[in-house]
Amino acid sequence: MFGKPGRPPEDVFQRRLEIYTAVAPLLEKAGPRGLTMRQAAVAAHMSVGGLYHYFPSKRDLVLFVLSPEALQRLCEQPHEMPPPMQPADSRVNLATFLEGLVRGVPFLRPAVLAAIELGAGPAFAFVETTMTVSVPDFVRAVKDVRPDIGDAEARAIDRAVRHATLGAMLDRSVSASELRNELYSIVQRGPIARP
């Protein structure tokens, strides 16, 4: 057992997440081929040896948030969601979901782009799984705010949100502000659904 007596055991996943979060901006800028483990270690304020303790390879580091373990743990972590909403709070609930999508894109973008560049097939499976979990909840929150939305329009909103989110993950030039505005626009006017 590692660590000093009396010290609580380290949450290795949480530490790996902290390291990835520190390295992600550099990864997005340099790409997986341009990023060195030395640069990653500097960004994470640790030694190269310490970095290799948590990530045996650069590939493990750059694809960390796309791993099944990360997906499971991130989904299990408590979300910044308020307690169950009263009907009057449905707009707050929708705004919370929307902000979660907006925050998720820049967090995932470096790993998704790295996976594409490295030819890692799980990138799109991960994105699809993530969207399958989060977008339907977002659409339900939209329906709480706009009860006039029928099933066809809800499906159209679901597709529009998926397209906007995936587009923002693949396009480095899309800012959080632009994605937020696009999502609010989808919610407010709603895409036109044809029968």
Domain ranges of the chain: 1-62, 65-195
**pLDDT tier, 3 (very low <50, low <70, confident <90, very high otherwise):** low
Is the pLDDT at 55 greater than 50, yes or no?
Answer: yes
Distance from C-alpha of 62 to C-alpha of 24, rounded to nearest angstrom? 8
195 contacts 187 by C-beta, under 8 angstroms: no
Give the CA angle between residues 185, 188, 193 to the nearest 5°.
90
For residue 166, the model assigns a pLDDT of 87
Distance from C-alpha of 136 to C-alpha of 83, rounded to nearest angstrom? 19
Find the mean pLDDT for residues 97-119.
85
For residue 102, the model assigns a pLDDT of 87
Q: Tell me the average pLDDT of the chain.
A: 82
141 contacts 93 by C-beta, under 8 angstroms: yes
Task: Give counts: helices (H), strands (E), the chain.
Answer: 9, 0
pTM of the model: 0.73
* Of 39 and 98, more confident: 39
Give the CA angle between residues 113, 79, 152 to the nearest 5°.
75
The closest alpha carbon to 193, from 146, 159, 164, 147, belongs to: 159
Q: Among 54-58, 75-79, 92-96, 118-122, which is the least confidently predicted range?
A: 75-79
> What's the CATH number for 1-62?
1.10.10.60
pLDDT tens-digit readout, 150-177: 888 888 888 898 899 889 988 989 999 9
Q: Output the CA–CA distances (angstroms, integers) from residue 3 to 6, 11, 46, 52, 66, in the order listed.
A: 9, 12, 17, 17, 28
For residue 120, the model assigns a pLDDT of 63
